[in-house]
Amino acid sequence: MCITLSLSSKPCIGVCNGSLQLPKSMVTTAQTEVITAPKRPNTFPGLTKQGISDIDLRVQEVVRRQSWTNSLVREVNCRKSRFEPMFIDDAYEKCWNICAEYAKTFYLGTLLMTKERQKAIWAIYVWCRRTDELVDGPNAEYMSPAVLERWEERLQDIFEGRPYDMLDAALSDTVFNFPLDIKPFRDMIEGMRMDTRKSRYESFQELYLYCYYVAGTVGLMTVPVMGIAPESSVSAYTIYNAALYLGIGNQLTNILRDVGEDALRGRVYLPQDELAQFGLTDKDVFSRKVTDAWRDFMKEQIIRARSFFNLAEEGASQLDKDSRWPVWSSLILYRKILDAIEDNDYDNLTKRAYVGRTKKLLTLPLAYTRALSKPSLYLR
């Protein structure tokens, strides 16, 4: 989950201020940190300008659609929910139970948020989890293009107030209460389609697009819910990008953590051209042998993942104070997963890096401390 636009404590208020245009120099600086290869000659050529432009256009479109004007906000706030209170409360409780069971650390981090924001985040989390399980869950063997087509039709029904079940109803109510656009949700489904069609990625440009679809979209979904601090002076576009970078960093970390498990399924989510630069191929991945070349390759991949977290961190302190804790929890926890890969001597072929329960719980007070930091006037 990720970073955000400004909302007051009321559930239906959209972005009322903040330019949607980021100064060209700031865009160039931020993009350079992501696109540029780690400081190693001829290593990791990075994304083309066209690749970045495509993602920029998606973010700008979502910012525009999810930024309501004051007049529209007032109109929406006057509407009444179309669900019975007891029914929708039960629906959100089901989402709460799922989030508490499967995302304990993040769930604990949401407890400082307002009730309306909590419920909205839980509903979004559950929809994302259910979407992911279509491809990676216990019934993944029944996956087909028709299943995803039906899921996308069902998503449209959710946004039009026609939920299929109680979990759908929770998201439908969230859509009713917050200015959520359907595009990031559709893009996540497209990421699931990509997973059914591709098991190799020739370059980081291809992998970046995949990471946007399956994880960067989560940041864009949650932007209108979490809110930014009233004293923050950065633009909505900047906060959306920070949210996107956190999602990308999280997915890159998941990929590095799960290399061995994915290989058992015949999948390699690592840029093929970058493997070749270190004299590695898919055979080296499937052999599950950790060599010096593999360690060098992993070191560079970890550097890249951390660079996305560094960019995301710049926006975390811009959030509304009630929403910062879960974001900082995610940042710290995923960084610790990268640390665990290093502690395993870069063996992510036969070992799965993980952060133990005690360490996870210890991240909470640290994340809370970071959440207390006030927004800076400018992003570095």
pLDDT (0 to 100) of residue 212 = 95
Other Cβ atoms closer than 10 A to 144: 10
> Is residue 271 helix, strand or coil?
strand
How many CA atoms lie less than 13 Å away from 337 in the CB half-sphere?
Answer: 21
Among 115-124, 163-172, 209-218, 320-329, where is mean pLDDT lowest?
Answer: 320-329
Residue 372 has pLDDT above 90, yes or no: no
378 pLDDT higher than 80: no
Strand, helix or coil for residue 201: strand
271, β-bridge pairs: 201
pLDDT interval class at 134 (50, 70, 90): very high
Q: Higher confidence at residue 205 or residue 11? A: 205
Percent helix, strand and coil across the chain, each rounded to 5? Answer: 70, 0, 30
What's the confidence (pLDDT) of residue 362? Answer: 87
What is Dmax (Cα atoms) for the chain?
Answer: 63
Domain spanning 49-68+83-372, CATH class: mainly alpha
The answer to whether residue 157 scores a pLDDT higher than 80 is: yes
**What pLDDT, on a 0 to 100 scale, did the predictor assign at position 3?**
31
Q: What is the pLDDT of residue 48?
A: 52
Indicate the pTM of the whole model: 0.81
CA distance 67 to 217: 16
Q: What are the structural domain ranges in the chain?
A: 49-68+83-372
CA gap 336, 357 in Å, rounded: 12
d(CA 146, CA 279): 40
Query: What's the mean pLDDT in 275-289?
Result: 97
| pLDDT mean over 85-93 | 94
Three-state secondary structure call for residue 228: strand
